[in-house]
Structures are given as structure tokens and as C-alpha cells.
């Protein structure tokens, strides 16, 4: 079973289709699972459409998709909980952070309150983190949107709708966040943490903070356009493909705790051919 991860897509349509074409092509020959590490939605011009497509893909089960919650999914859920209670709500943090695009597109596509609330119910059930049996070095791999908990369970019971206040930390915290002065590290020394949430603007869309024990794969913006890494879990290393808004696949790297080795041109072309085969 091949396992892939991306994070913080934020409604970027071109990158979404490039990644899905690649995974669709692989899934015709091999079993795969995709993990979405939160913030699929908001800001990008296709946020609502992409969310609906992912939900449809999960129902169709062409290959398993495990969708974890991020702070943008949490903001969406919180606003709709107020709406369901009949409260008058001014635009909240969700709208101020690009949620109005997602909301507008859901209303346009689904039209009825009942269908929109079905999507909200789906969001409410998103899990918060994922523990993997695969390892990087001596440590198991661990996936969460913003910050690793100090105490990790192998089977996550926390969901977007869970009332625990600590969910805010796992989905919102950034380094040196003044709202949580007791929190010294976003990673956890017991596991190899993969995080998103904070745009890194590096050449390949990811960086490893060794002293804090985490790999950031948010991607963010590079050369004025969004880019998103697609990480594949291997034993003791990752294969990471970087997709750019306008240029498509721009890089491939083998990543370990100690080095980052680029794909050869032949290896990169092989991936590009797989993507083209599904267009």
C-alpha cells in the first residue's frame, strides 16, 4: 500500500487536478491511500468545488482518502454551528480568512440548506491526527495540521466537533505563538511529525526543523504562485513531488533526516508522463 500526503491546498484547482491525475494513474495498478492534512478549503478560487469533489471521491472509494481537519475546516464548522442555532452572525474569522469563497460555492452548487448541512456534518467528523506504523529513523511518522500533542494515541478519537479545547492547539498553533506560552515545540521528540499550517515559501515547499522535530509541508507561495508538496511515505525516507500553480510538477526529491536528494531528469519525466496519461 502506497501512502501519500498533501496539506494546505487552499482551493488551488490546477495543483489539485495535477495531484489527482497522478494518483488516479497510480491507483490503476497499485493500492494507494491519500491523506489530506487539513486546509483543503478557502482562499483559492475553487475551494467549494474541490471540497465537493473530495467528498464524492470518498463516497466512490476509487482509493481511500483520509481527510484530517485543519484550522480552516474548524472555522467553517464553528460558523455553521452558530447558524444552526439561529444566531445572527457577522462575518467571522472564517470569512476573513477566505471562507466566503467556499461558502458561496457550496450555496451555488448545493442550493438547499439541507444539502449544505450534510457537508457541514461531514466536516464535523474529520479526525485531528494520524499515527503511522512506518518510521523515519527510529521514530514513527505522525501527521497533524499545526502542532503535535504531547500525549499521542495510536488511534485518534478526536474530531473537529470534539469539545476539547486542546484541538485549538493542534489546528492553530505556530512557533512562539503568544496565545500558548507553555508550548515550546510544534513537534514531538517521540515521533517524526509532519505539519502544515504555516507557509514556508521555500524552493520545494517544505523544510525540516530538526531542533523542533517536524517537517513542514504547507508549501505556501513561491514566485507569486502557490505550490504544494505531495509526500509519499517510504521506510526511513520520503519521496516529495512539488507542484506549482502555473508550471505543474516542478521538482522531485528524496528526503531523509540527513539529506535531500533531487530526482534525476528521467525520474521527473516519468512522473510527468503518468500525470499526462490521465488528462
CATH number of residue 46's parent domain: 3.60.21.10
* pLDDT band at 180; cut points 50, 70, 90: low
* pLDDT band at 213; cut points 50, 70, 90: confident
The answer to whether 6 and 231 are in contact (CB under 8 A) is yes
The answer to whether 49 and 80 are in contact (CB under 8 A) is no
- 139 by Cβ neighbours in 10 Å (0-12 / 13-18 / 19+) ranks as middle
Q: Please state the length of the chain.
A: 279
Average pLDDT in the chain:
92
Number of alpha helices (DSSP H) and beta strands (DSSP E) in the chain: 8, 13
Domain that holds residue 168: 2-276
Provide the pLDDT for residue 210. Answer: 81
* pLDDT band at 184; cut points 50, 70, 90: low
32-80 confidence digits (pLDDT tens) = 999 999 999 999 999 999 999 999 999 999 999 999 999 999 999 999 8
Provide the pLDDT for residue 224. Answer: 81
Looking up cell 481511500, which residue turns up? 64
90-101 confidence digits (pLDDT tens) = 657 899 999 999
Question: Cα(135)–Cα(235) distance, rounded to whole angstroms?
Answer: 6
* pLDDT band at 85; cut points 50, 70, 90: confident
* Residue 168 pLDDT greater than 80, yes or no: yes
Average of pLDDT values for 224-241? 95
* Residue 212 pLDDT greater than 80, yes or no: no
Strands 139-144 and 191-195, sheet pairing: parallel
Which of 238, 260, 241, 259 has its CA nearest to residue 251?
A: 241
Average of pLDDT values for 129-150? 94
Number of domains in the chain: 1
Q: Report pTM.
A: 0.95
* Residue 5 pLDDT greater than 70, yes or no: yes
248 strand-pairing partners = 244
Provide the pLDDT for residue 105. Answer: 96
Amino acid at each position: 500500500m502506497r501512502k501519500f500526503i498533501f496539506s494546505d491546498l487552499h482551493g488551488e484547482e490546477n495543483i489539485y487536478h495535477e495531484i489527482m491525475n497522478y494518483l488516479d494513474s497510480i491507483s490503476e495498478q497499485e493500492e494507494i491511500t491519500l491523506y489530506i492534512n487539513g486546509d483543503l478549503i478557502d482562499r483559492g478560487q475553487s475551494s467549494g468545488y474541490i471540497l465537493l469533489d473530495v467528498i464524492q471521491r470518498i463516497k466512490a472509494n476509487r482509493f481511500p482518502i483520509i481527510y484530517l481537519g485543519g484550522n480552516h475546516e474548524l472555522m467553517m464548522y464553528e460558523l455553521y454551528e452558530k447558524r444552526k442555532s439561529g444566531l445572527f452572525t457577522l462575518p467571522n474569522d472564517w470569512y476573513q480568512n477566505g471562507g466566503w469563497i467556499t461558502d458561496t460555492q457550496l450555496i451555488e452548487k448545493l442550493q438547499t440548506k439541507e444539502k449544505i448541512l450534510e457537508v457541514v456534518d461531514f466536516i464535523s467528523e474529520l479526525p485531528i491526527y494520524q499515527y503511522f506504523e512506518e518510521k523515519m529513523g527510529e521514530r514513527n511518522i505522525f501527521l497533524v495540521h499545526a502542532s503535535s500533542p504531547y500525549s499521542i494515541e495510536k488511534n485518534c478519537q478526536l474530531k473537529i466537533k470534539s469539545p476539547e479545547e486542546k484541538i485549538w492547539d493542534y489546528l492553530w498553533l505556530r512557533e512562539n505563538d503568544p496565545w500558548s506560552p507553555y508550548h515550546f515545540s510544534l513537534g514531538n521528540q517521540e515521533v517524526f511529525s509532519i505539519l502544515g499550517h504555516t507557509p514556508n515559501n521555500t524552493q520545494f515547499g517544505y523544510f525540516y526543523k530538526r531542533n523542533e522535530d517536524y517537517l513542514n509541508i504547507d508549501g505556501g507561495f513561491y514566485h507569486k504562485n502557490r505550490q504544494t508538496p505531495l509526500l509519499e511515505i517510504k521506510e526511513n525516507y520520503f519521496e516529495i513531488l512539488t507542484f506549482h500553480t502555473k508550471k505543474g510538477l516542478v521538482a522531485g526529491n528524496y528526503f531523509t533526516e540527513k539529506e535531500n536528494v533531487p530526482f534525476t531528469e528521467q525520474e521527473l519525466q516519468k512522473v510527468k508522463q503518468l500525470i499526462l496519461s490521465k488528462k
